[in-house]
C-alpha cells in the first residue's frame, strides 16, 4: 500500500484510516469504501461510535443569490454503528489487514458500498476573493461519538468527530462509439447561395489535456471569400436540483486564418486543446472534485445511464464545439461587415482508465 490517509478527531480518541480517496465508478458497480476506525473506548462514557457517509450538494450565497446564507442538500446518506458492535461484519480484505496494522488492536474494520446511481464529485471554481468551502457535489466519510446516529436534539461535540472528503470518479469506458458528425447548409447574410459545412470528430470521447482535431469540410457556393475559421468550446453546467439554474461558460476560443475562396472548397483538421490552466479566473466553472491542496481539471462530462434520475445527479456537465466560418470583417468598418456561418457538435471529455484498473 503506497499511502495511508489518516484523520484524527481533535481529542485523538477517534482515528480514521483509508487506503485511498478516489473511488471509481465502473458503471455496473463502484469501488467500496474500505477502512479502519481506531477507537479509544475509555472515552465513550456510554456513547456509541457511528460512521456516516454522505453524498451532498453544497451551494453558497454568491452562487445562487441566497442572501447571507450557505446551504447543503444531502443527496444520499448511510449510517453504521461500529461500537458497540451491531451486526456490521465486513469481509476482511488485504487493505483492511494493512490498515489494521497501522491502527493496532483498537481498530475496527468497515466497508461501505456506494450506490451506482449517485453523481461523481464536481467542484464549482470559486472566485479569487472567495476562500470558503467550494460549491459542488462531494462525498464525506465521518466518524463520531453520540448516543444516536442522527438525533437533531443531540449536540455532537466537534472534538469527538473526524472526517475525510473522498472522490467518486469515472473513467472513459473501454468500448466507445463513433465520433459526432454534423452536416449543414446555411447562407451568409446578403448572400442567396449556400455554404455547405461538415464537422466531425474521429472518436466519441477525448481525454483531458489531449489535442482534439476538429475535421472541417466546406463547399463555398457563394461569391464571398471566407477568411477566418473560429473554433470555440463551451461548458454547460446544469444544476438539476434547481431546474432554472443552467449556465454556459466559454473555455476556449481560437482563430485560424484559413482562406476559402468564393466557389471554392476546403478540407482540414484543426486542432484545439481546452485546459483549466487557461480558465483559472472563471468563477463557477465546473471542475472535477477537488481534494484540499491538490490540482484538478475541467469537469468530466456527465454520463447518465438508463434508469438514473436526473434530479439525484446534483450537477450535470456537458461540452460543445462551435465552428464559425467568417467572411469579411476587414477594412474601416471592421466587424460591422462580417458575416458568419455556424455549426455545433457535442464533445465528451473524460479521464483514461489507468493501467491495471479494471
Least confident of 1-10, 103-112, 303-312: 303-312
Q: Cα separation of 225 and 282, whole Å?
A: 35
The pLDDT of residue 330 is: 47
Burial (CB count within 10 angstroms: exposed 0-12, middle 13-18, buried 19+), residue 196: middle
Give the CATH fold of the 181-350 domain: Immunoglobulin-like (2.60.40)
For the chain, first and last CA: distance in Å?
18
Task: Examine the pLDDT at 329 and tell me if it is beyond 70.
Answer: no
CATH 2.60.40.2470 for domain 5-170, yes or no, is no
| Mean pLDDT computed over 180-199 | 90
pLDDT class of 61 with cuts at 50, 70, 90? very low
The contacts of residue 222 (CB under 8 Å, 6+ apart) are 187, 188, 191, 193, 194, 195, 262, 263, 327
Task: Examine the pLDDT at 142 and tell me if it is beyond 90.
Answer: yes
Task: Examine the pLDDT at 160 and tell me if it is beyond 50.
Answer: yes
Q: What distance lies between CA 331 and its chain's CA centroid?
A: 44
The pLDDT of residue 291 is: 62
Sequence ranges of the chain with CATH classification 2.60.40.840: 5-170
Q: Cα separation of 271 and 211, whole Å?
A: 6
The pLDDT of residue 68 is: 46
pLDDT tens-digit map of 6-36: 999 998 899 999 999 989 888 778 899 999 9
pLDDT tens-digit map of 283-313: 888 888 866 556 678 999 987 766 666 666 7
pLDDT class of 134 with cuts at 50, 70, 90? low
Please, are residues 312 and 118 in contact by the beta-carbon 8 Å criterion? yes
Sequence ranges of the chain with CATH classification 2.60.40.640: 181-350
The residue with greater pLDDT, 355 or 205, is 205
Q: Cα separation of 220 and 199, whole Å?
A: 14
Amino acid at each position: 500500500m503506497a499511502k495511508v490517509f489518516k484523520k484524527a478527531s481533535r481529542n485523538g480518541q477517534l482515528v480514521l484510516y483509508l487506503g485511498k480517496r478516489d473511488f471509481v465508478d465502473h458503471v455496473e458497480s463502484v469501488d467500496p469504501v474500505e477502512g479502519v476506525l481506531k477507537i479509544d473506548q475509555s472515552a465513550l462514557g456510554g456513547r456509541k461510535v457511528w460512521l456516516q457517509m454522505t453524498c451532498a450538494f453544497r451551494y453558497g450565497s454568491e452562487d445562487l443569490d441566497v442572501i447571507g446564507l450557505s446551504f447543503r442538500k444531502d443527496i444520499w446518506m448511510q449510517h453504521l454503528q461500529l461500537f458497540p458492535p451491531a451486526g456490521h461484519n465486513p469481509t476482511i480484505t488485504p487493505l483492511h489487514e494493512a490498515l489494521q496494522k497501522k491502527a493496532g488492536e483498537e481498530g475496527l474494520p468497515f466497508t461501505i458500498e456506494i450506490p451506482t446511481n449517485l453523481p461523481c464529485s464536481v467542484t464549482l471554481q470559486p472566485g479569487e476573493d472567495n476562500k470558503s468551502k467550494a460549491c459542488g457535489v462531494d462525498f464525506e466519510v465521518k466518524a463520531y461519538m453520540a448516543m444516536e446516529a442522527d438525533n437533531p436534539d443531540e449536540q455532537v461535540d466537534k472534538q469527538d468527530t473526524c472526517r475525510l472528503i473522498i472522490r467518486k470518479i469515472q473513467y472513459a469506458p473501454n468500448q466507445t462509439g463513433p465520433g459526432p458528425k454534423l452536416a449543414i447548409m446555411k447562407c451568409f447574410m446578403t448572400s442567396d447561395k449556400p455554404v455547405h459545412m461538415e464537422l466531425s470528430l474521429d472518436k466519441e470521447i477525448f481525454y483531458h489535456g489531449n489535442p482534439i482535431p476538429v475535421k472541417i469540410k466546406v463547399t463555398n457556393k457563394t461569391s464571398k471569400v471566407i477568411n477566418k475559421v473560429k473554433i470555440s468550446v463551451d461548458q454547460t453546467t446544469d444544476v438539476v436540483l434547481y431546474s432554472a439554474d443552467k449556465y454556459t461558460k466559454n473555455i476556449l476560443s481560437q482563430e485560424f486564418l484559413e482562406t476559402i475562396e468564393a466557389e471554392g472548397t476546403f478540407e482540414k483538421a484543426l486542432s484545439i486543446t481546452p485546459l483549466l490552466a487557461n480558465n483559472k479566473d472563471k468563477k463557477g466553472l465546473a471542475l472535477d472534485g477537488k481534494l484540499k491542496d491538490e490540482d484538478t481539471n475541467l469537469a468530466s462530462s456527465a454520463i447518465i445511464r438508463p434508469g438514473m434520475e436526473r434530479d439525484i445527479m446534483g450537477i450535470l456537465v456537458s461540452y460543445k464545439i462551435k465552428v464559425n466560418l467568417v467572411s469579411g470583417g476587414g477594412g474601416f468598418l471592421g466587424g460591422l461587415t462580417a458575416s458568419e456561418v455556424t455549426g455545433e457538435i457535442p464533445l465528451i471529455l473524460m479521464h483514461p482508465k489507468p493501467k491495471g484498473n479494471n
